[in-house]
């Protein structure tokens, strides 16, 4: 179990690092110029370095640990500000939020000022793995915690529901038995966990189910499920990449990157789910060796995963959050 907690966090990191060098490339350009991405490629900050996906996941994990497992929006704001580093490729919304927070704008108000009705980017989903593992035994509490951590940056319901769906997928993979795993059952259970309001995601998951044997037709998958940074056009895609390659952490990530577009985030989300199923030992050693170390590096992420596991084990997580909201 501890290896699977760590696997979800490290899975985010590995996917982020693997996908980042080709972020923004089309699937056809990746196919034409590289064939596939199966190795950690050279990158601006070095091979195996991560971007905002992992940095914000680390901040969320640290915040949960500092607050006894609860999501505390004001604490998250402080930690997001502390880790913010423009070299790590943040989304446009995040750059603006940092400035609004600096000006003293309260977090709920600041998040509503982004785009039209708040961001529906995948930024709240890409970082959510720590919530998925900590709350994996209580779907209601998990949903509320995932939504609350999303609201800090993503005021649009699609951004919040996407984060909740990704957390549900991580939790379900953590609970699954690899020996009896069934992609169809996984999808059915996931759909059943969604509230009625998450209609966009329910439809996307049904679509993903219909396409399970069509994964080699990348043009079709990208057209139907999406590969950009809108949450509803990437979270279902990441779940799809996991499901069509559920037997192998490596194959799932290589496939997620092969879809092009928001490759670091697609692979980070696929990696979190696959890592929760297979555990950290499923990370190929050549990828493991390449991962960035030092402050907030690989070994610290492992420690965070272990500490969240300890928190879950000793505190028996499953209690409802007091200040949670299901008003989507
Ligand atoms: C750079 C219209 C909207 C929207 C709305 C679009 C990093 C915008 C990570 C926006 C991830 C983008 C990604 C991402 C994480 C969102 N109307 N368009 N209401 N809401 N968008 O900026 O943290 O890569 O084009 O809030 O969610 O690796 O720029 O950032 O790939 O989605 O950024 O949303 O993104 P943001 P985020
Ligand atoms: Mg990124
Ligand atoms: Mg990205």
Report the CATH number at residue 146: 1.10.4080.10
262 burial via Cβ count (<10 Å: 0-12, 13-18, 19+): buried
Kindly report the protein residue whose alpha carbon is nearest to atom 30 of ligand 1: 91
Mean pLDDT score, 41-49: 97
Whole-number Cα distances in Å, 125 to 157, 182, 247, 274, 313: 12, 24, 23, 15, 24
Q: How confident is the model at residue 317 (pLDDT cuts 50, 70, 90)?
A: confident
Q: Is the CB of 52 under 6 A from ligand 1?
A: yes
Q: Indicate which atom in ligand 1 lies nearest the CA of residue 92.
A: 22
Question: Sign of dihedral through CA atoms 77, 81, 82, 85?
Answer: positive
Q: Indicate which atom in ligand 1 lies nearest the CA of residue 16.
A: 28
Q: How many domains does the chain have?
A: 1
Question: Sign of dihedral through CA atoms 108, 113, 114, 115?
Answer: positive
Whether the predicted pLDDT of 64 surpasses 90: yes
Q: How confident is the model at residue 324 (pLDDT cuts 50, 70, 90)?
A: very low
All residues with CB under 5 Å from ion ligand 3:
262, 264-265
Q: Both ends of the chain: CA-CA distance in Å?
A: 32
Mean pLDDT score, 191-206: 97
Q: Which domain holds residue 86?
A: 2-327
pLDDT of residue 323: 39
CA–CA dist 177, 161 (Å, integer): 26
Ligand nearest to C-alpha 153: 1
Q: Are 1 and 273 within 8 A, CB to CB?
A: no
CA–CA dist 221, 303 (Å, integer): 36
User: Which residue from 51, 87, 122, 229 has its CB within 8 A of the most atoms of ligand 1, so it is best to mutate?
Assistant: 229
Closest C-alpha to 127, from 264, 32, 284 = 264
CA–CA dist 307, 65 (Å, integer): 8
Q: What is the pLDDT of residues 100-141, one digit of tens each?
A: 999 999 999 999 999 989 999 999 999 999 999 999 999 999
Q: Is the CB of 122 under 6 A from ligand 1?
A: yes
- Other beta carbons within 10 angstroms of residue 299's beta carbon come to 10
User: Which residue from 121, 162, 263 has its CB within 8 A of the most atoms of ligand 1, so it is best to mutate?
Assistant: 121
Ligand nearest to C-alpha 263: 3
Task: Give the distance, in angstroms, between the CA of residue 134 and the centroid of all CA atoms in the same chain.
Answer: 14
Q: Is the CB of 120 under 6 A from ligand 1?
A: yes
Q: How far is the CA of 100 from the centre of ligand 2 (A)?
A: 21
Average pLDDT over all residues of the chain = 96
pLDDT of residue 318: 63
CA–CA dist 137, 226 (Å, integer): 30
């Amino acid at each position: 179990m501890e290896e699977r907690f760590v696997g979800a966090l490290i899975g985010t990191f590995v996917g982020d690092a693997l996908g980042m060098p080709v972020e923004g490339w089309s699937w056809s350009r990746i196919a034409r110029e590289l064939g596939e991405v199966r190795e950690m490629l050279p990158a601006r900050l070095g091979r195996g370095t991560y971007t905002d996906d992992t940095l914000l996941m680390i901040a969320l994990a640290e915040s949960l640990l500092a607050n006894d497992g609860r999501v505390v929006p004001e604490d998250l704001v402080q930690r997001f500000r502390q880790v913010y580093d423009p070299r790590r490729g943040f989304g446009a919304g995040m750059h603006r939020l940092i400035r609004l927070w600096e000006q003293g704008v309260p977090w709920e108000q600041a998040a509503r000022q982004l785009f039209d009705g708040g961001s529906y980017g995948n930024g709240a989903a890409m970082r959510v793995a720590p919530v998925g593992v900590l709350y994996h035994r209580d779907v209601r509490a998990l949903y509320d915690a995932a939504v609350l951590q999303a609201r800090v940056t993503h005021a649009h319901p699609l951004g919040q529901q996407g984060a909740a769906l990704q957390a549900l997928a991580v939790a379900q993979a953590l609970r699954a038995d690899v020996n009896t795993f069934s992609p169809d059952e996984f999808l059915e259970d996931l759909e059943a966990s969604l509230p009625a309001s998450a209609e966009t995601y329910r439809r996307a998951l049904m679509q993903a189910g219909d396409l399970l044997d069509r994964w080699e037709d990348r043009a079709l998958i990208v057209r139907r499920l999406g590969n950009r940074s809108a949450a509803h056009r990437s979270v279902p895609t990441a779940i799809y990449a996991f499901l069509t390659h559920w037997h192998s952490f490596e194959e799932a990530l290589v496939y997620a990157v092969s879809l092009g577009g928001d490759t670091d985030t697609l692979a980070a989300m696929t990696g979190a789910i696959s890592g929760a199923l297979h555990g950290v030992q499923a990370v190929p050693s050549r990828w493991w060796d390449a991962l960035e170390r030092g402050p907030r590096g690989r070994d610290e992420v492992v420690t965070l995963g272990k500490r969240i596991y300890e928190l879950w084990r000793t505190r028996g997580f499953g209690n409802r959050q007091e200040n949670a909201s299901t008003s989507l």
